[in-house]
Amino acid sequence: MKIINLLVIGLVFFSLACSDTTAQVELKTKQDSLAYAIGNQWGKNLKTDDLMLNTTLIKQGIDDSFKDASKLTDEQIQSVLMTLQSEIQEKRMKQQQEAASTNIKKAEEFMAANKTKEGVKTTASGLQYKVLKEGTGKSPVATDKVEVHYHGTLTDGSVFDSSVQRGEPITFPLNGVIPGWTEGLQLMKEGGKVRFFIPPALAYGAQGSGAIGPNEVLIFDVDLLKVNPTK
Domains belonging to the chain, first-starting first, are 2-71 (no CATH), 104-228 (3.10.50.40)
Residue-level pLDDT at 45 = 72
Residue 219 confidence (pLDDT) above 90 = yes
Residue-level pLDDT at 36 = 82
Looking at the DSSP assignment, which residues form a beta bridge with residue 223?
149, 193
Average pLDDT over the chain reads: 87
Residues 166-180 pLDDT 10s: 999 999 999 999 999
131 phi/psi in degrees, rounded to 5: -75, 120
CA distance 190 to 146: 9
Residue-level pLDDT at 23 = 56
- Between 91 and 172, the higher pLDDT residue: 172
Q: Residues near 182 by Cβ (< 8 Å), separated by ≥ 6?
A: 142, 174, 175
CA distance 96 to 138: 41
Q: How many helices (H) and strands (E) does the chain have?
A: 6, 7
Residue 22 confidence (pLDDT) above 70 = no
| Active site amino acids | 150, 160-161, 178, 204, 220
Residue 85 confidence (pLDDT) above 50 = yes
CA distance 123 to 196: 11
In the chain, at which residue ranges do the beta strands (DSSP E only) sit?
Answer: 121-122, 128-133, 145-153, 159-162, 170-173, 193-198, 218-228
Residue-level pLDDT at 112 = 97
Residue-level pLDDT at 28 = 86
The pTM of the full predicted model, rounded to 2 decimals, is 0.70
